[in-house]
Amino acid sequence: MDKVHPRILYESFVSGDFRKRWDRNLIDMEIAFEGEGGNDVVFQSFKYPFPLTNRDALYSRYRSYDEETGTYTIVWRR
């Protein structure tokens, strides 16, 4: 199995455009409010299978990258 660079994995979760390429259930993802220090409020809309209807959600998201340790952090809260 090929290894995925952590930066690519990180971007696949924080970038709506990039995530739409692989997540077929994601209709839309945009930053509703961009805060300081990597804190955002994110709007997401998802497709759900019949008989359910599509769902929208707002999430509080914290994201960071520590250059010294090479650590990426993403925390989602509803």
The domains located in the chain, with CATH, are: 6-77 (3.30.530.20)
Handedness of CA 52, 58, 60, 63 (dihedral sign): positive
Q: Digits of tens for pLDDT over the chain (78 positions)?
A: 578 887 787 777 778 888 888 889 999 999 899 888 889 899 999 999 999 999 999 999 898 888 899 888 888 887
- Model confidence pTM above 0.95: no
Task: For residues 44 and 32, give the distance between their C-alpha atoms in angstroms, rounded to a whole number.
Answer: 10
